[in-house]
Structure 1
Amino acid sequence: MQFPESWLREFCNPPLSTQQIADVLTMGGLEVEDLRPVAPPFSKIVVGEIKEAVQHPNADRLRVCQVDVGQGDLLNIVCGAPNARPGIRVPCALVGAELPPGDDGKPFLIRLGKLRGVESQGMLCSARELKLSDDHGGLLELPADSPLGRDVREVLQLDDHVFTLKLTPNLAHALSVYGVARELSALTGAPLQVPAYPAVPPVHDEKLKVTVTAPDLCGRFSGRVVRNVNTKAATPQWMVDRLARCGQRSVTALVDISNYVMFEFGRPSHIFDRDKIRGGLDVRWGRPGEQLKLLNGTTITVDEKVGVIADGDQVESLAGIMGGDATAVSDDTRHVYVEAAFWWPQAVQGRSRRYNFSTDAGHRFERGVDPSLTVEHIDRITRLILDICGGEAGPMDDQVLRMPEQKPVSLRVARASRIIGMPIDAAQCLEAFRRLGLPAQAAGDVITVTPPAYRFDLAIEEDLVEEVARIIGYENLPTTAPLAPITAMLPPESRRSRFAVRRLLAGLGYQETINFSFVEERWEKDLAGNADPIRLLNPIASQMGVMRSSLVGSLLHVLKFNLDRKAERVRVFELGRVFMRDASVQTTDATVRGVRQPMRVAGLAYGEPDGLQWARKTSGADFFDAKGDVEALLAPRTATFEAAEHPALHPGRCARILLDGREVGVVGELHPRWRQGWEFPHAPVLFELDLDAVVERQVPAFVPVPRFQPAERDLALIVADAVTHSQLVDAIRDADTAGLLRDVLLFDVYKPKQPVAGMGQDEKSMAVRLTLASPDATLTDDQIEAAVTAVVDNVVRQVGGRLRS
């Protein structure tokens, strides 16, 4: 909400400075987001009239003007503006004048000088040179009745300020200059100038037939026909200036009048071209397939959830939001129909967003507009039309169908005192309500308030408590330290925090990324195998149309972004939420019916594991680099890895991750098809884990330091190529019936390129180191040999292996 201070003071003029008014409004809940003067400082710039303008003798684009500034003698001023002509009154900077500062921040000083040999005794100014607008097409032409020699700041009322308020949705009654003045009067006690709405007597008897078939859309509809208006009439300069300081450019006189009354009293209205309306008007809900071309040039399709105003042929207006192009007024318009209505807020809310635009009218109607003054505001609009455009007013047509019910709200003074935090009595509450214009009655400790028609935000007791606190002044409330028992909410020791997970991944060399939860539908199909993703009703971009069920696509997008900028090594991770369909999920405070939203952590590694160096030559991060990072992330819990398939990963270089037999994630190399599709020079490796599994950890338990030295034995076992590392380790551990085996470590795999005696073409040698120990005594040779023999025998039985000779 933006408006000039001078307009506000016409309704309420407290004895306060501009900054003090801003402070009062802010502390009263109407936050002043910005306060600025309407014009920068400048001096000695007066109204001058060009009496003569002749061609400069030495320059084709310059003119020598004789300017009267009310000093008796005419000033000789050289000017290059294309509209410099006799008879117009313009700003004239006298010798010694200071123009607004330029880009260097220094004011521009006017001196006596010569231009192409002709003396210039000042300067004629454009709006841009005075920093009033960006218009630099010529001199700023002032009204013809501007007094000669008068300071331009006084003539144009430039010693004014523009307030910009940041209003919360419950302050719809302050979306007008009068509404803000009403609040300022209540906060300061200054008198409020209540506007008068003198009725305009009808001159003719024409009425437009209007039928309201949707009372749940429109509760009141008022209008009148005004004949023989001059739509080419110029908007008065005072109205143009006020609209400009409200952030609204001048269009035509009729449009400006409608906008002016909206900013003045907060009621949007619409003016139709009467001759373009076929038959009467029908206020109803839309019908599927109906189309409407709006004033902004957009053609939309409505349905039964959107309110419209239609005539006998077509839809003419989007109810409470924007008029249609078909019945818009133009220079050829002679007769108009002025409409003001009360649209139910719930019937307007969200409709603009369906079509990706917003309007001042929709912004007000969806919050609630006073339904009691439609007739008075039409009279105000009609009076302005008659004064500016002329015309003949017809009789008022006012249809009242269903008005909002003003339900009384009760306030307990004792409860208000507890909430506000200071002692207050019933008299203070009644005085606050009186200043706010809220009818109130007291019955003991209970005060009952009947909200006026323009207050849609007063529904519960807490709303009244807020009003009392605003009038008392938030700055006057005492500062009281809270008194409450403080109980430390310690997390369970068996879980680590998400920040600990982040720190651990950062320690492994990964950098965190944060991405949108909505992604391309193609990512879900290709990388997650999700043929039915959760779609957004109103995505912010076409490529962000579905909710992600995997973090893989987001990480690949980050990798692509970095590779496009010549990054050679990328290691990133994300900790975020994914979204999957699950019919078993019900709606709660933290869930949505049918959607499961688990947290996951995923990482991606690309390029050299250790960066560029001389000691290690590799082709980039591989599966085992990512597997090692996953093991470090899950430590001290030990995960097992099984070969698996995943839509995003290489079929032969992918494994699912299991903890205690439960699958918690996947790790692997990107599928060659997607590596080629994303145009990656090398395949990155990725992992994705359920966050709940990662944050779980074993509670540390004391284990005494071993007193007896362990024994180590190395075994080279020949097994078939199909035998995996996990199968071999399982066979070795199953042989440990005595409980002596502490660790099994694979340290070599040998596959000869040429045939070797004792090994088949489909066999390989796997060398493992066994660590054996007993907590009770040093192992004897017999115990060690028995344990090794049991391991070899069990490998023979379970995986068909044998000891390499």
Structure 2
Amino acid sequence: MRIPVSWLAEHLELPEDTSIDTLTEAFVRIGLEVEEVTRLTPVTGPLVVGRVAEIEELTEFKKPIRYCQVEVGKSETGEQQTRGIVCGATNFSAGSLVVVALPGTILPGDFEITARKTYGRTSEGMICSARELGIGEDHDGILVLPPGSADPGTPANEIVGLDDSVIELAITPDRGYCFSVRGLARELSNAFDVPFGDPANRAIPDDDRPSRNVRIEDETACSRFVFRRLTGVDPTAPTPWWMQRRLALAGIRSLSLPVDVTNYVMLEFGQPLHAWDAAKLSGDVVVRRAAAGESLVTLDGVERELDPDDIVICDDSGPVSLAGVMGGSSTEIGQDTNDVLLEAANWEPAGISRMIRRHRLPSEAGKRFERGVDPAVAAVAAERAARLLVDYGEATISAGRTDVGQPSQPAPVTMPLALPDQVAGVRYERGVTAKRLTQIGCRIEVGTSDDGVGVVTALPPSWRPDLTQPADLVEEVLRLEGYHTIPSIVPSAPTGSGLSAGQRRERAVSRALAHDGYVEVLPFPFIGEATLESLGITEDDPRRRALRALNALESDRALLSTTLLPGLLDSLQRNVSRGRRDLALFHIGQVVLPGPEQPSVPELGVEQRPSDEQLAALHAALPAQPRHVGVVLAGQRERSGWWGAGRDAEWSDAVRAARLVADTAGVPLSVSAGDKAPWHPGRCAALEVDGAVVGYAGELHPKVVEALELPKRTCAMELDLDALPVTDDRPAPDISAYPPVRLDVALVVDEEVPAADLAEALRSGGGELVEDIRLFDVFTGEQLGADKKSLAFALRLRAPDRTLTQQEATEVRDSAVAAADQRFGAVLRG
């Protein structure tokens, strides 16, 4: 919201020495963010009003160039001085009053004007646009002053208003009333404790006769609709310069008198207006929702298909306006329009917001409607615009006024008088609460509750629909008293015991994965149904019972993550698309796993502390939220180079990552064959701790890889970190000073026997002297027999207190082989 300071000061009794810095500080103090302050510094040098006496069109150039004779004032002898000036703008004619910078003038930006030869002519100055003078952004044409506003040669600094300043503010959605001079001036009056002259306090003539019959079929869409009719309007009448200037400083381009008047009143009152050509309307006017299949050609010439949720204004021919967003071309005011209907309505904010986004039609009017417009000001705004058209457009106000609809009134709010003091921790002076609530427009009644406590009942004004509960009133009191008056007391930090065992384990796992070459990523925490389907997760899988966010950041990803894989694979895909080939990523994060019959979350108030029963119900309604650790791998796990060929990542690397997590956590991990989407059924490992499955690792299914456009043979692992028992007091490993004994054992077993299970049998049979078992060879062939395979293991044996003899080592090996034979029928390979 851009607004000139002079316009604000018109409604306030500010001290004469109030500076722009003081105003800026006041806005910030009462909670409004100031984005930019533009000081319009007077132009130095001979900046004067000029009258264009003659125009010569230079047709020998590709673009329009005009050589103008401009009267710039009388000389000492009384003769009119004329200067020849080259100009490329075409929005003026002979007789127009313009602003001329004569040689020696320095415009904003230290741009000095000199006489120079250009386009075959000598230009003795420059005809200025609004942007060149620093009073607006319009550079499509030069600044044309209204006829009779000044004589040629008159200094232009004061006429143009270059001694003003412009403040640009960022208005939050709950402060829709601040999108107007009326609202901002009221806020400043509260900040300075000075009287405020409300521009909406205007008398409206009583007249119950309608200007045109209007019927509101959907009262939720439109709470009030006002028509005011004018005849004899001159649409070609010039807009007065003072209005043009204010619109330009507010960032709005002057177009025509009817349009400028509606824009001016919108900035003044915050009530958007729309001007209709009354002669182009047929029959009664109806406000309703659009019907299926209806369309409307809007003022920008685009035919728009209407949605049944759209709010439209119709006559006998059908929709003629997209309510609150853009009018229709069929009722547009043209050069021959002299019968005008001024519309001031109040629309449903949510409906207008949806229409703006649906049709991609943002506007200054829509910006105000979707934040809420004061319904009480509609008739006043229409009357103000009508009077301006009478004064400057030779219009006549017709008898009668249409005013239909019943806006809802704000509900009164009651709170203890001392509540602001309690919230802020400050003892305010007596009467502060009543004073501040009155300043913002509330009508108040002070009384006593049944238990003898002083209370205040406030009826919010029509422009403050956001005041609905005691906390809102408290905020207003604290805001106007100044947040800087609330002491900032930092509480002393209680002594703690440091990180918990679970936190220390999580950090240790994160460091271990990073040391092993994995890079941590922070993926988007929400997923979509399409992603779960592409991962091959079936409907009966618990991971499909995802909770949906009520106000999702992205409509196609509105589910709370039940698995870390979608986010990790998305990060992998994004890196691959940017040229990265060899990737190893990990993430430790929270997933949300609701039960099959998840109870609903109870709604708790904020007026008092919830009871123990309410808190218990709240905790019971929360779904399980365990922390998982996941990794994804693609490309080469060991890169190639001068040292030799590399090695592609494979399923065993994902299993190794799981073992690394378990080893870091200090718990034994068992690995067995598994089958779980989205992994490849034949290359998937189930991860078990104490007999319970805590995760899966392996190579992703080829269909998943294809659906997500991932690199071939992408591998992944996901493990429930919270399912691992916390071993806070893990013993240090025993280190023996005695040498190990290494033995190799090759066993022939059935082809379906997992190598991990066979290794576990060898370990249990060998006993405590088995320090390590490693599979180093797998062999199949005709000499072994059908459906047979040979698994070769390297056993490392060691005793903590002695050097093992050959006989002891042989006994350990035989015991281990016997255990494997007993469980799987394993036979030593000859």
Q: TM-score interval w.r.t. the shorter chain? A: 0.7 to 0.9
Distance verdict in 2 for CA 1:668–1:317, change over 3 Å: same
**Alpha-carbon distance, 1:426 to partner:** 2.2
Distance verdict in 2 for CA 1:455–1:96, change over 3 Å: same
SS of equivalent residue, structure 1 residue 211: strand
Out of 651, 659, 665, the position equivalent to 1:623 is 651
RMSD: 4.2
SS of equivalent residue, structure 1 residue 243: helix
**Alpha-carbon distance, 1:278 to partner:** 4.1
Q: What's 1:526 paired with?
A: 534
SS of equivalent residue, structure 1 residue 21: helix
Of the structure 1 ranges 528-537 and 479-488, higher mean CA displacement relative to structure 2 is found in 528-537
Q: Quick one: distance in 2 between partners of 1:264 and 1:803?
A: 97
Q: What's 2:606 paired with?
A: none
Q: What's 1:380 paired with?
A: 384
**Alpha-carbon distance, 1:602 to partner:** 2.9
SS of equivalent residue, structure 1 residue 74: strand
Q: What's 1:23 paired with?
A: 25
Out of 91, 107, 117, the position equivalent to 1:99 is 107
- The alignment status of 1:685 with 2:715, answered yes or no, reads yes
Q: Quick one: distance in 1 between partners of 2:48 and 2:234?
A: 34
- The alignment status of 1:479 with 2:487, answered yes or no, reads yes
Cα deviation, 1:406-432, whole Å, max 9, x if unaligned, reads: 41433423x332322322232333443
**Alpha-carbon distance, 1:380 to partner:** 1.3
Q: What's 1:422 paired with?
A: 426
Unmatched 5+ stretches in structure 2:
449-453, 603-617
Q: What's 1:699 paired with?
A: 728
Q: Percent identity?
A: 31
Q: TM-score, normalised by structure 1?
A: 0.84
Say whether the 8 Å CA contact 2:591–2:628 is kept in structure 1.
Answer: yes
Say whether the 8 Å CA contact 2:549–2:559 is kept in structure 1.
Answer: yes
Of the structure 1 ranges 720-729 and 351-360, higher mean CA displacement relative to structure 2 is found in 351-360
Distance verdict in 2 for CA 1:359–1:644, change over 3 Å: farther
Cα deviation, 1:626-668, whole Å, max 9, x if unaligned, reads: 3222321332323223333455444433323333333333322
Q: What's 1:104 paired with?
A: none
**Alpha-carbon distance, 1:12 to partner:** 1.7
Out of 370, 375, 380, the position equivalent to 2:374 is 370
Cα deviation, 1:77-109, whole Å, max 9, x if unaligned, reads: 4515364864333332222222333xxxxx333
Of the structure 1 ranges 583-592 and 260-269, higher mean CA displacement relative to structure 2 is found in 583-592
Distance verdict in 2 for CA 1:119–1:18, change over 3 Å: same
SS of equivalent residue, structure 1 residue 153: helix
**Alpha-carbon distance, 1:400 to partner:** 5.2
- The alignment status of 1:724 with 2:724, answered yes or no, reads no
Distance verdict in 2 for CA 1:796–1:702, change over 3 Å: closer
Say whether the 8 Å CA contact 2:673–2:754 is kept in structure 1.
Answer: no
Q: Quick one: distance in 1 between partners of 2:293 and 2:147?
A: 53
Q: What's 1:249 paired with?
A: 253
Q: Quick one: distance in 1 between partners of 2:373 and 2:203?
A: 21
Say whether the 8 Å CA contact 2:518–2:585 is kept in structure 1.
Answer: yes
Amino acid corresponding to residue 47 of structure 1 in structure 2? V
User: What is the 5 A alignment of 1:55-454?
Assistant: 65-72=68-75, 74=81, 76-81=83-88, 83=90, 86-101=94-109, 107-114=110-117, 120-127=123-130, 129-130=132-133, 139-145=142-148, 146-195=150-199, 196-199=201-204, 207-284=211-288, 295=299, 297=302, 299-303=304-308, 307-312=311-316, 314-318=318-322, 320=324, 322-331=326-335, 333-343=337-347, 352-353=356-357, 358-389=362-393, 390-399=395-404, 401=406, 403-413=408-418, 415-443=419-447, 445-454=454-463
**Alpha-carbon distance, 1:795 to partner:** 1.5
Q: What's 2:674 paired with?
A: 644
Unmatched 5+ stretches in structure 1:
102-106
- The alignment status of 1:585 with 2:598, answered yes or no, reads yes
Distance verdict in 2 for CA 1:164–1:564, change over 3 Å: same
Q: TM-score, normalised by structure 2?
A: 0.82
Out of 690, 709, 718, the position equivalent to 1:660 is 690
Q: Quick one: distance in 2 between partners of 1:228 and 1:517?
A: 62
Say whether the 8 Å CA contact 2:413–2:469 is kept in structure 1.
Answer: no
Q: What's 1:751 paired with?
A: 779
Q: Quick one: distance in 2 between partners of 1:356 and 1:580?
A: 38
Cα deviation, 1:557-616, whole Å, max 9, x if unaligned, reads: 444444444434322234456677864233438999999876544322233334343334
**Alpha-carbon distance, 1:181 to partner:** 0.4
Q: Say how many residue pairs are matched.
A: 790
Distance verdict in 2 for CA 1:62–1:199, change over 3 Å: closer
Cα deviation, 1:130-154, whole Å, max 9, x if unaligned, reads: 4556665554433333332334332
**Alpha-carbon distance, 1:208 to partner:** 2.0
SS of equivalent residue, structure 2 residue 501: coil
Q: What's 1:567 paired with?
A: 580
SS of equivalent residue, structure 2 residue 476: helix
SS of equivalent residue, structure 1 residue 382: helix
**Alpha-carbon distance, 1:265 to partner:** 0.9
Say whether the 8 Å CA contact 1:62–1:78 is kept in structure 2.
Answer: no
SS of equivalent residue, structure 1 residue 602: strand
SS of equivalent residue, structure 1 residue 169: coil
Q: Quick one: distance in 2 between partners of 1:54 and 1:213?
A: 59
Say whether the 8 Å CA contact 2:283–2:315 is kept in structure 1.
Answer: yes
Distance verdict in 2 for CA 1:742–1:308, change over 3 Å: farther
Cα deviation, 1:697-730, whole Å, max 9, x if unaligned, reads: 4223335846785864524232234332122123
Amino acid corresponding to residue 661 of structure 2 in structure 1? L
Q: Quick one: distance in 2 between partners of 1:691 and 1:315?
A: 60
